[in-house]
Amino acid sequence: MDLGLADRTYVVTGGSSGVGLATVRALLDEGARVATCGRDAGRLTRIGAHERLFTGVCDVRDADAVRDFVAASADALGGRIDGLVNNAGQSRMKRLDETTADDWRDELDLKFAGVLHPLHAARPYLRAADAAAIVNVNAVLAKQPEPRLITTSAARAGILNLSKSLAVELAADGIRVNSVCLGLIDTGQWTRRHAASGSDRSYEEWQAELAADRGVALGRLGRAEEVAYAILALLAPRASYITGTSIDVCGGVGRGIL
């Protein structure tokens, strides 16, 4: 099936690694034009050059930098933006008693800025597009909090709630807003944790134990490409009646009904 993404322009934040990188590659494979950003210029070069790709160094917490990046993206890629994937970020592995006031502020700032700054910057372009869509990359933690990720769980719940409000608010502009809620996906986040754990088990053994410990029904971590597939499905103009909802991409770790 042709997803109808070709010749459209998409902005994906945090495209130098993991889920963002897989999404950038999948969109390019579909013939779309893609802009992406990250904080580290060196990591962005890993994507490789492509005539339909624009990259920029920017931190999603910096509203001015995001506005400049989004405007430069539209200038470089046909003067339009058809969709936005708010993906940049990371989680904070801390329990209540390890969490400082700065941790709370920083986590809420990253999660909310990561959605609101790109949205405000891209909104004029999205309003002008004929099939505009936003996908917020979230986590099953939003619906199933984990005390070991206390700030991230709370911030994720807030973002899921915000996504609902945005779906209603932006419907009049013809902009759909949906979320993907991730379980454990094999990306830089987990290779970094394996390295930091000091474990003498191989990454593969460590991952299998992690999946069993967290009760992942499919018994393994997900692949970034498996998330990208769901993101593209929600971005696609054919998904024109889908807004205000979320898809869990979690291998069955989510036990909630909603």
Ligand X SMILES: NC(=O)c1ccc[n+]([C@@H]2O[C@H](COP(=O)([O-])OP(=O)(O)OC[C@H]3O[C@@H](n4cnc5c(N)ncnc54)[C@H](OP(=O)(O)O)[C@@H]3O)[C@@H](O)[C@H]2O)c1
Locate the DSSP E strands across the chain: 9-13, 33-38, 53-57, 83-86, 132-139, 175-182, 185-186, 222-223, 246-249
Instruction: Give phi and psi for 118, each to the nearest 5.
Output: -65, -35
- Does residue 12 touch ligand X according to CB under 6 A? no
Beta-carbon contacts of residue 122 (< 8 Å; ≥ 6 apart): 11, 70, 81, 84
Q: CB 218 → ligand X: shortest distance, Å? A: 14
User: Which residue's beta carbon is nearest to the bound ligand X?
Assistant: 18
Using CB under 6 A as the criterion, what x/- string covers residues 77-106 for binding ligand X?
A: ----------xxxxx---------------
* Closest alpha carbon to 178 in 130, 240, 96: 240
Give CA–CA dist 148/177, Å, rounded. Answer: 29
Which two tokens mark 192?
A: 């970094």
Q: Which is nearer to ligand X, 39 or 164 (CB)?
A: 39
Contact 246, 179 (CB under 8 A): yes
Using CB under 6 A as the criterion, what x/- string covers residues 117-156 for binding ligand X?
A: --------------------x-x-----------------
Q: Which is nearer to ligand X, 207 or 243 (CB)?
A: 207
Q: Which is nearer to ligand X, 226 or 237 (CB)?
A: 226
Q: How many residues bind ligand X (CB under 6 A)?
A: 30
For the chain, the residue count is 258
* Closest alpha carbon to 187 in 165, 209, 207: 207
Using CB under 6 A as the criterion, what x/- string covers residues 183-222 for binding ligand X?
A: -xx-xxx---------------------------------
Q: Which is nearer to ligand X, 2 or 213 (CB)?
A: 213
Q: Which is nearer to ligand X, 82 or 107 (CB)?
A: 107
Residues near ligand X (CB under 6 A) are 13-20, 37-40, 43, 59-61, 87-91, 110, 137, 139, 182, 184-185, 187-189
